[in-house]
Amino acid sequence: MVSLVVESPQRMSASQNVVVSETTRSSIITTTTNNSSSTQKPPTAPPGFISISKKKLLKNLDIINGGQRINAWVDSMRASSPTHLKSLPSLSSQQQLNSWIMEHPSALEMFEKIMEASGGKQIVMFLDYDGTLSPIVDDPDKAFMSSKMRRTVKKVAKCFPTAIVTGRCIDKVYNFVKLAELYYAGSHGMDIKGPAKGFSRHKRVRQSLLYQAASDYLPIIDEVCRQLVEKTKTTPGAIVENHKFCASVHFRCVDEKRWSELVLQIRSVLKEYPTLNLTQGRKVFEIRPMIEWDKGKALEFLLQSLGFGNSNSVFPVYIGDDRTDEDAFKMLRDRGEGFGILVSKYPKDTDASYSLQDPSEVMDFLQRLVEWKQMQPRM
Ligand SMILES: O=P(O)(O)OC[C@H]1O[C@H](O[C@H]2O[C@H](CO)[C@@H](O)[C@H](O)[C@H]2O)[C@H](O)[C@@H](O)[C@@H]1O
């Protein structure tokens, strides 16, 4: 049994409540209601009991429940984006790593075998952005991809239909990638665009809209982002990003001592929005509409748009590093077509079949893919 370093072990909804039984509590606390008439005095509690109004009791219960939830969030924040296996004894961590690698071998080492498995089917490439095409950095606005990576992705797109699937909004990711020939699924797949008709390699053309799964949420996300900016401004290092159909609150640069304060701030905003979900990525909270749509659904939608809906002649390959990429890995496993590659140096619980260590290995893999394609006889 391998014990794993999991980036965001819990997927919790902001509206999920830990239920504390009132029956148990009533043995130590008696409650009084606020709707008793002004002439009626609330009954006094017998000696040894505390008298507390129902309103106050509910508030206190919420603090107790909230406290438990906040600790769970902070634990999960601590586990997010591990950078080393320090907490594990070195020998066993090496054994764990070896055993994980056996289960999720390097996509570079298995390259020939993977290509053999594609068996002449149409390869379609899906690429996550942060941590996959660009290295993870402190400032999300400075997550640039290298020119070499851009040239490589450009070559990949000449060989195979290629899509960027990201948590960021399309405009932001486009500013980093700058390739009009790609498909883009932004806001965790809730905003999908394709290369514009009449696309020219020489001039920038607007992508054409294919699907927006959460268009109703646009004003809500805008409002929530404004409130989150306001609420978190007293927490140094917190960064709020508006991704149009979803939002992110970064804690990579927030002092660990202030994490619970940040969770409280986020929760105090989200409690007014029961249709939004709170999940966690790499040192980031993700706020998303509570709808049945994710990167896996976006992948399926794109395959359908490309004419491979029920086809068994397609071989999709998805490369990603984060928790939200798991929905796409799972989709491929369930379809029994293609496979996922997880970008990680550390063992993680994943539905991906293969692994690559970091964006530079992703680039090597993509380059080999292009070379392999160029060697194939033309049909
Ligand atoms: O789906 P992705 O493209 O992987 O987007 C997920 C989040 O990526 C970005 O945050 C991550 O990268 C930042 C820059 O390297 C890093 O500072 C942060 O800690 C990472 O979580 C993006 O800024 C987020 O909004 C996305 O949700």
Cβ atoms 357, 341 nearer than 8 A: no
Same domain flag for 272 and 222 = yes
Give a yes or no: residue 165 inside a domain.
Answer: yes
Give a yes or no: residue 56 inside a domain.
Answer: no
Q: What is the pLDDT of residue 182?
A: 96
Cβ–ligand 1 contact at 327 (below 6 Å):
no
Q: How far apart are CA 312 and CA 373, in angstroms?
A: 20
pLDDT tens digits for range 134-175: 999 999 999 999 999 999 999 999 999 999 999 999 999 999
Give a yes or no: residue 190 inside a domain.
Answer: yes
Q: How far apart are CA 335 and CA 355, in angstroms?
A: 20
Question: What range defines the domain where residue 172 resides?
Answer: 105-202+293-375
Q: At 200, list the tokens.
A: 């020219």
Same domain flag for 299 and 272 = no
Cβ–ligand 1 contact at 253 (below 6 Å):
no
> 210 phi and psi, to 5 degrees?
-110, -45
Q: At 79, list the tokens.
A: 């586990």
Report the CATH number at residue 257.
3.30.70.1020
Closest CA to 319 of 153, 172, 155, 154: 153
Cβ–ligand 1 contact at 284 (below 6 Å):
yes
- Backbone angle region of 36, left / alpha / beta, with phi > 0 → left and psi within -120 to 50 → alpha: beta
Tell me, what DSSP letter sits at residue 190? T
The domain boundary, picked from 225, 259, 289, lies at: 289
Same domain flag for 322 and 187 = yes
Q: At 6, list the tokens.
A: 């999991």
Same domain flag for 130 and 242 = no
Same domain flag for 110 and 191 = yes
What is the best residue among 8, 80, 130 to mutate for testing ligand 1's pocket, by most ligand atoms within 8 Å of CB? 130
Q: At 323, list the tokens.
A: 């928790």
Q: What is the pLDDT of residue 93?
A: 81
Rg value, the chain, Cα:
24
Same domain flag for 145 and 176 = yes
Same domain flag for 172 and 242 = no
How many angstroms is it from 305 CA to the middle of ligand 1?
A: 27
Q: What is the pLDDT of residue 91?
A: 61
Same domain flag for 225 and 281 = yes
Same domain flag for 188 and 321 = yes
Cβ atoms 191, 244 nearer than 8 A: yes
Q: What is the pLDDT of residue 266?
A: 97
CB within 8 A of 241, min separation 6: which ones?
140, 168, 172, 247, 248, 249, 250
Same domain flag for 192 and 240 = no
How many angstroms is it from 129 CA to the middle of ligand 1?
A: 8
Give a yes or no: residue 316 inside a domain.
Answer: yes
Same domain flag for 142 and 228 = no
CB within 8 A of 368, min separation 6: which ones?
108, 111
List, for the chain, all residue ranges whose pLDDT scores fall below the cut of 50.
Answer: 1-54, 56-58, 60-61, 64, 86
Structural domains of the chain, count = 2
Q: At 120, list the tokens.
A: 């002449």
Cβ–ligand 1 contact at 246 (below 6 Å):
no
Cβ–ligand 1 contact at 269 (below 6 Å):
no
Terminus-to-terminus CA distance in the chain, angstroms? 47
Atom of ligand 1 nearest to the CA of 188: 1
ipTM of the complex: 0.99
Q: At 162, list the tokens.
A: 């290629």
Atom of ligand 1 nearest to the CA of 134: 15
Cβ atoms 316, 295 nearer than 8 A: no
pTM: 0.82
Q: What is the pLDDT of residue 66?
A: 57
Q: How far apart are CA 48 and CA 185, in angstroms?
A: 61
Cβ atoms 20, 65 nearer than 8 A: yes
How many angstroms is it from 4 CA to the middle of ligand 1?
A: 22
How many angstroms is it from 281 CA to the middle of ligand 1?
A: 8
Q: How far apart are CA 335 and CA 331, in angstroms?
A: 6
Q: What is the pLDDT of residue 204?
A: 54
What is the best residue among 77, 187, 284, 285 to mutate for testing ligand 1's pocket, by most ligand atoms within 8 Å of CB? 284
CA–centroid distance for 336 within its chain: 23
